[in-house]
Structure 1
Amino acid sequence: MRINILLRVYKRKLIQVLPLILSLILVLVVGSHTIAVPTKSTEILWDTYGVPHIYGKDNQSAFYAFGWSQMQSHGDLLLRLYGQARGRAAEYWGEEYTESDRWVLTTGIPERANSWYNAQNPSFRNYIDAFAAGINAYASQNPKLINDEVEVVLPIKPEDIMAHLHRVLNFTFVVNPEEVLELSKQKLQAGSNGWAIAPSHSASGKAMLLANPHLPWSDLFLWYEAQITAPGIDAYGATLVGIPVLAIAFNNNLGWTHTVDTYDGWDLYELTLADEGYRFDDKVRNFETKTLSLKVKRKDGSLQEQPLVVKNSIHGPVVVEKNGKALALRVAGLDRPGVLQQWWDMARSQNLNQFETALKRLQLSMFTVMYADKEGHIMHLFNGQVPVRSFGDFKYWQGIIPGNTSKTLWTKIHPYQDLPRVVDPKSGWLQNTNDPPWTTTFPTAINPDNYPPYIAPRFMDFRSQRSVRMLAEDDKISFDEMIADKHSTRMELADRILDDLIPAARKYGQELGQKAADVLEAWDRQANADSRGAVLFASWVKQMDWDRMFSKPWSEKSPRTTPDGLANPKVAVTTLEAVAAQVQKTYGALDVPWGKVFRLKLGNVDLPANGGDGNLGIFRALDFAPEANGQFQAVAGDSYVAAVEFSHPVRAQVLTSYGNATQPGSRHIGDQLQMFANKKLRPCWRSRSDILAHLEERKVF
């Protein structure tokens, strides 16, 4: 009797604890695998660097939480960007946004965004709806945390998200409005470094990935770091503020990064005007014309309404019309609205085959793809919606194209199999630093002769040469060495040219030239904060005529060792002496430390910088803007970093240079800048236990 009672009690207890036992077994078995177990609630776990780790009970809930988290970190910026994407920024905030609105409306961004949104499949459209709902819910529940000036944009509609995406990708990255409208001759400060290292070239025998985009440190170019975990996905990475999916990411099985490639997906056509229309194939065609309303807020708060006449030709909208000439803009990929789902599916992929299945949709307008995975595969894809052109090389299509003939009008893009691509090269490594795909590895794995000459130019700049040197000269690269290389500030150009410049200064230089030679000879050829001589050398390079500087120009036969030599040593020394005089006058010494002149500034933080212009052959690229006191402030360049080794478990370190927030009052504005200055990355917390050990805030929905 007693035994039967004991057995019944034991059985009852076993039934009670069995679910817990099974859960523990599941955790142990699943462990490090990328399987997101459904949760009963959705939550955001904010770590001590302001990175949101989102756990969604379903995908829709994860998108909602991601919208909420972006508002908490970047709410004012996000709303301002969405207002611009509507083409109503001048209406909201004044005449300084007039040109922005004119560009957005002329190129048809709001209208096309509506059609892009409606083209999403129903499930993914619900995800976009949820992201917008998360934004609006945060604003509704935290009105005092949102700047009154930007509240006018609320509520956000899903179409606003698509318009912002469209403006960022197609009409900022693919085609730079300031370049097209001749508002600025300066190229967009957009670049990147990307490495993929195979097991055969790594010290651990595991594949590694280096993600390191370089973009402006403001506006629509800011990176937002996050982790998203939901059924079928557990990905860590970053995206640009306002975009609802990760654009650069890794999971336990694979990862990728993007670099801005030498992609040409747009053209300006000069139209031959006739009879209020334009000539095309010996016939006069009429413009498709519509009149839009462009509203501008005056200083007194009143609105001035301006008619905006938009003329569309067979090529696209007329974006410049003056002195009897008209230029029409044609942009590839405007009929491909699926980039968000493609990025989402890339992050959900578990192997190379699944990843390429997503890539083959070619919904992403541009950007090189650098890929690595736990199976040891690495890949470089020159990704882009590349127009099929009937003739001409890359240089031809960089100019103004005759718009009076169908011979110049492209209508199709190249399919995936036409794009330059290499998987698992013999070298064991791949790199891209915004150079053409032909120089991704050595020995050369992609032959440019096998592709149309308009696909990409043929060149290799000094930053690319520096990148290749670091990879090629280290047979087995460790994880720590990859991070150290990532922070390299050595100037490839200095290594190339000082052996000519210093002897020339000794031979032709006066007293100041001799002193300059002494400084350059003692210099470590780096752009570290304490490097003395870097300011002098960089100033000299800036004053030299780059096209006439070298005695031996860049050669495709010697891509890694040219250009070289001084074309005119006497002129070089004369320039050096003039620059030396200016440096001494401005800074009081020829050997002024780099970090005294070049600074990292955010809010109250003011630190000596390291890194510099990629044209100098510096891998750690930073762009600076001059200040009144002779100093320069970092405004673009090295931004988000992820160094990943596909070991078991995955090893990763990360950094977002300027911090993971811009919202006033956030403690995460500039909180990573000191690490940036110290050439340090931080641990990447991905497991729930690590996140909870560094928890700053929890939000449960």
Structure 2
Amino acid sequence: MCRYRILFTININDRKKQLPDDCCYLAFNMKKSLNLVTILVLFFCSSSAQTINPKNIEIVRDSFGVPHIFAKTDAEVAYGLAWAHAEDDFKSLQDVVLPAKGLTGKVQGKAGAAADYAFALFRCMEITEAKWNTLTPAFLKLIDGYVQGINAYAKAHPNEVLHKKIFPITAKEYIASSVLALTAFNGADKVLMGIFNNVIETDPELNKKGSNAMAVHPNKTTTGEAFLLINAHQPNTGSQAFYEAHINSEEGLNVHGGLLAGGPCILHGVNENLGWAHTVNYVDRVDVFQLEMNPANATQYKFDGEWIDLEEKTITLRIKGIPVAVKRKIYWSKYGATMKNKQGFFSIRLGANMDIRALEQWYYMDKAKNFTEFYAAIKDQRLSMFNITYADKYDTIFYVNNGLVPVRNPAPQYNWKSTLPGNTSQTLWTAFRKFNELPQYVNPKNGYVFNTNHSSFFATDAANNLKAEQFPATDGWETWQNNRSIRVLQQLPADKLDYASFRKIKFDKQLPAVLQYPHNIDTLFLLSETAYPLYASLIQTLKSWDKQGTADSKGAAVFLLSYLHLAKKLGAGAARTLTTAEAVETYAYVYDYMMKHFNRTDLALGDIQKLVRGDKEWPLWGFPDLLSPQWTANYKDGKLKSVGGDGLIMFIRFTKDALPQIETVNMYGASAKKGNKHFDDQVEMYIQQKTKRMTLKKEEVYGKAERVYHPGE
């Protein structure tokens, strides 16, 4: 309950003294003493108000620079996590909150202004204000601690602040930023770009960049341990790159794993009893509606036979390099965020910007002690997306294709994979599938579940898989396999799985004999080299290739350049077979590329593809849809550099009577700051596909500490 208390006295001339933001100023009594004017300040504060003393927090850096945060309370741990993450990558933390301040354009230019626009369009702050009271007191304390930590770091390091108006940030701005992030993750960003570019009808991209997750029951392993693989494929750098950390409080947090910039707790990882992994899912969560506009009134749309005014607002975008502010109109209909293009007005509807509790769900997942508590944490559906693959020390494995999936009208006249009519309540869905209606498995008889961004209906063996026809077609569940899912199934033994083989599955670089890319590119392998003498060596190299993506493979080099060329040429349109003419043109492209940049065609994959960190580079294996993947961007001199791939890899083994055994590797290192010794100290380990041992045991962490300090020291 709330209470009155005397907080402090301040000198009225001391303008640097800051009053807490979460306190309400009620009254003051001025009096003169020794020619000094003091103010006795009376505040009315909620019981959640807290002032965190960083001396109560210890950051323990291990030999790889990974931070282990120890404190009495969860809020203090969150403060320490914010501080440690800021030490390693403060820019990314700021990038996350820039839209809430309307400063992304001011800092990043025109590209950044799109985020400011989307933040306003999807009403991220408005939904945060409206739903604020749905957050639990315990979580609000955690967020308050996190925000205090990042504000304290900004105050102590003003030279690292991207813009003078970013800080201080508030808890509401922080939560609103997470709403935008989840809205984009759910696919709204791509829909926005489609509307902006007047291209509304697009087929789904089946070849996703992807992630891997797998849980194996103790009955399936040779050691009687449960195995868990955590392997999200994210960008290598920036706010969407995984950061490794360990948080430990006396209020029940002891969890190690990965988080994205702005994460106040672990987003996927392992605690003393259980662990979970996320992979991106592609169930249909977003709908687009074309409004029927009034010919006599440009901002009225028809709904159930009546003309209704669009809600209209003018926003101001401030863009770096443009001296004057840019005005833009945003709209809102019954369906939600609305944009105008040459074809008319379109509304975007999804669950991600209808809830603000995603981070709260992760917090309670972190604190779960068993499957019952974990299931209770996720069944309220605060998190709008992501597959969840789970294992624990109590002989439970679990998988769910999680998401806020709309309950849609099944009438045949409505094609939910296309643009919908936005003039009738028949298409205005208002509810979501209940959690128990989502595809999920608990302890299937065969002893494993896995996901590689493929269908929930291939999550285990054929005898135990769910069937697509058990679920409404309007939900838009994934139905495809991919190269990675096929390779997992090919490598799983009929009997029991040993740990070395479990690790080998993750590090596999083999494509299946029958490729699972959305377009059939077999024509590349069928051309006669004698018919095309200029490209004969390339054709022969690809035809004799063992379909492994190793750095020393010449076939992999030809395949990667072919793949990148065809990805641009064929795009995400309807799947089709490559023509002979297109295959010849592809070989011509590969030949010209190699000759132009390298003056030879007998190149290995590692000659072209590099892992780059700072001014160093290494030959690199992998390409899209391998279990050990990479995706690339132009680097220099014709070489390509990895910009996304494995990121953080974690292998977990659970036994009943001990803490989990944890092995991890990060693609680069713990720090994003060039010059820090942990900037690239895991690269060689990653290249060799080795791991480092981590622990949840406090005594062991301190015993092997490289540095122990309080935030601010």
TM-score, normalization: structure 1? 0.84
- Paired position in structure 2 for 1:85: 100
Determine whether 1:599 maps to 2:619: no
CA distance in 2, matches of 1:289, 1:666: 49
In structure 1, runs of 5+ residues without a counterpart are 1-38, 555-562
- Kept in 2: contact 1:86–1:104 (CA 8 A): no
- Paired position in structure 2 for 1:619: 627
CA drift of 1:359 comes to 1.0
Stretch deviating more after TM superposition (105-114 or 410-419): 105-114
- Kept in 2: contact 1:46–1:697 (CA 8 A): yes
CA distance in 2, matches of 1:77, 1:507: 49
The DSSP-based 3-state class of the residue aligned with 2:420 is: strand
Which amino acid letter does the alignment assign opposite residue 679 of structure 1? Answer: Q
Determine whether 1:380 maps to 2:387: no
CA drift of 1:428 comes to 1.4
1:410-425 matched pairs, under 5 angstroms: 410-425=429-444
CA drift of 1:611 comes to 1.0
- Paired position in structure 1 for 2:490: 469
- Paired position in structure 2 for 1:25: none
Distance 1:190 1:397, change over 3 A: farther
For residues 445-469 of structure 1, what are the alpha-carbon distances to aligned partners after superposition, in whole Å with 9 as ceiling and x for unaligned?
Answer: 2111110013213221222212222
CA drift of 1:310 comes to 2.4
Determine whether 1:52 maps to 2:67: yes
The DSSP-based 3-state class of the residue aligned with 1:79 is: helix
- Kept in 2: contact 1:393–1:453 (CA 8 A): no
- Paired position in structure 2 for 1:695: 705
Determine whether 1:265 maps to 2:285: yes
The DSSP-based 3-state class of the residue aligned with 2:144 is: helix
CA distance in 1, matches of 2:355, 2:424: 26
The DSSP-based 3-state class of the residue aligned with 2:547 is: coil
1:471-490 matched pairs, under 5 angstroms: 471=492, 473=493, 475-490=495-510
The DSSP-based 3-state class of the residue aligned with 2:649 is: strand
Root mean square deviation, CA, Å: 3.3
Which amino acid letter does the alignment assign opposite residue 75 of structure 1? Answer: F
The equivalent position to 1:630 in structure 2, one of 638, 660, 682, is 638
Determine whether 1:208 maps to 2:217: no
CA drift of 1:414 comes to 0.6
Q: Which has more helix, going by share of residues?
A: 1
CA drift of 1:122 comes to 2.4
Identity %: 25
The DSSP-based 3-state class of the residue aligned with 1:582 is: helix
- Paired position in structure 1 for 2:342: 323
- Kept in 2: contact 1:246–1:347 (CA 8 A): yes
CA distance in 2, matches of 1:499, 1:459: 17
Determine whether 1:671 maps to 2:681: yes
The DSSP-based 3-state class of the residue aligned with 1:236 is: strand
- Paired position in structure 2 for 1:133: 148
CA distance in 2, matches of 1:357, 1:409: 29
The DSSP-based 3-state class of the residue aligned with 1:668 is: coil
- Paired position in structure 2 for 1:28: none
- Kept in 2: contact 1:259–1:369 (CA 8 A): yes
CA distance in 2, matches of 1:383, 1:460: 18
CA distance in 2, matches of 1:516, 1:174: 38
For residues 42-97 of structure 1, what are the alpha-carbon distances to aligned partners after superposition, in whole Å with 9 as ceiling and x for unaligned?
Answer: 31101122211111112221122122112212212212321123333234564443
The equivalent position to 1:655 in structure 2, one of 655, 662, 665, is 665
Distance 1:138 1:149, change over 3 A: closer
The DSSP-based 3-state class of the residue aligned with 2:318 is: strand
Determine whether 1:369 maps to 2:369: no
CA distance in 1, matches of 2:426, 2:525: 54
Distance 1:100 1:41, change over 3 A: closer
Distance 1:203 1:106, change over 3 A: same
CA drift of 1:479 comes to 2.1
CA distance in 1, matches of 2:109, 2:321: 6
CA distance in 1, matches of 2:72, 2:318: 43
1:173-212 matched pairs, under 5 angstroms: 173-177=186-190, 179-182=193-196, 191-212=210-231
- Paired position in structure 2 for 1:460: 481
For residues 248-302 of structure 1, what are the alpha-carbon distances to aligned partners after superposition, in whole Å with 9 as ceiling and x for unaligned?
Answer: 0211211100100122222111111112300112211111223333334546xx5
Stretch deviating more after TM superposition (601-610 or 183-192): 183-192
In structure 2, runs of 5+ residues without a counterpart are 1-53
- Paired position in structure 1 for 2:50: none
1:453-602 matched pairs, under 5 angstroms: 453-455=473-475, 456-471=477-492, 473=493, 475-492=495-512, 504-505=526-527, 509-511=531-533, 515-516=537-538, 518-520=540-542, 522-541=544-563, 574=584, 578=588, 581-582=591-592, 585-586=595-596, 587-602=598-613
Distance 1:492 1:509, change over 3 A: farther
Determine whether 1:120 maps to 2:142: no
The DSSP-based 3-state class of the residue aligned with 1:408 is: coil
For residues 519-577 of structure 1, what are the alpha-carbon distances to aligned partners after superposition, in whole Å with 9 as ceiling and x for unaligned?
Answer: 2455342111111211123334556699999xxx99xxxxxxxx9xx887x65874575
CA drift of 1:413 comes to 0.4
CA distance in 2, matches of 1:597, 1:133: 45
Determine whether 1:157 maps to 2:180: no
Determine whether 1:226 maps to 2:245: yes
The equivalent position to 1:294 in structure 2, one of 311, 314, 317, is 317
Determine whether 1:109 maps to 2:124: yes
CA distance in 2, matches of 1:393, 1:67: 50
The DSSP-based 3-state class of the residue aligned with 1:152 is: coil
The equivalent position to 1:681 in structure 2, one of 691, 695, 703, is 691
Stretch deviating more after TM superposition (95-104 or 392-401): 392-401
- Kept in 1: contact 2:523–2:578 (CA 8 A): no
Number of equivalent positions:
639
- Kept in 2: contact 1:394–1:454 (CA 8 A): no
CA drift of 1:510 comes to 4.4
CA distance in 1, matches of 2:173, 2:180: 10
- Kept in 2: contact 1:315–1:328 (CA 8 A): yes
TM-score, normalization: structure 2? 0.82
Distance 1:679 1:546, change over 3 A: same
Determine whether 1:449 maps to 2:459: no
The DSSP-based 3-state class of the residue aligned with 2:233 is: strand
Distance 1:240 1:474, change over 3 A: farther
CA distance in 1, matches of 2:411, 2:212: 29
CA drift of 1:591 comes to 3.6
The DSSP-based 3-state class of the residue aligned with 1:168 is: helix
CA distance in 2, matches of 1:476, 1:591: 42
Stretch deviating more after TM superposition (226-235 or 331-340): 331-340
CA distance in 1, matches of 2:413, 2:555: 38
- Kept in 1: contact 2:101–2:166 (CA 8 A): no
For residues 482-518 of structure 1, what are the alpha-carbon distances to aligned partners after superposition, in whole Å with 9 as ceiling and x for unaligned?
Answer: 2222111112257799997798445864445653454
For residues 634-659 of structure 1, what are the alpha-carbon distances to aligned partners after superposition, in whole Å with 9 as ceiling and x for unaligned?
Answer: 11121111111113342221122132
CA distance in 2, matches of 1:474, 1:589: 46
For residues 607-653 of structure 1, what are the alpha-carbon distances to aligned partners after superposition, in whole Å with 9 as ceiling and x for unaligned?
Answer: 11111111xxx111211112452211111121111111113342221
- Kept in 1: contact 2:483–2:516 (CA 8 A): no
CA drift of 1:324 comes to 5.8
The DSSP-based 3-state class of the residue aligned with 1:397 is: coil
- Kept in 1: contact 2:668–2:679 (CA 8 A): yes
The DSSP-based 3-state class of the residue aligned with 1:237 is: strand
CA distance in 2, matches of 1:694, 1:173: 41
Distance 1:381 1:392, change over 3 A: farther
The equivalent position to 2:649 in structure 1, one of 641, 646, 649, is 641
CA drift of 1:580 comes to 5.9
CA distance in 2, matches of 1:226, 1:628: 33
Stretch deviating more after TM superposition (411-420 or 61-70): 61-70
CA distance in 2, matches of 1:540, 1:107: 39
- Paired position in structure 1 for 2:185: 172
- Paired position in structure 1 for 2:13: none
CA drift of 1:420 comes to 0.6
The equivalent position to 1:242 in structure 2, one of 233, 241, 262, is 262
CA distance in 2, matches of 1:107, 1:313: 11
CA distance in 2, matches of 1:548, 1:323: 25
CA drift of 1:194 comes to 0.8
The DSSP-based 3-state class of the residue aligned with 1:149 is: coil
CA distance in 2, matches of 1:191, 1:318: 30
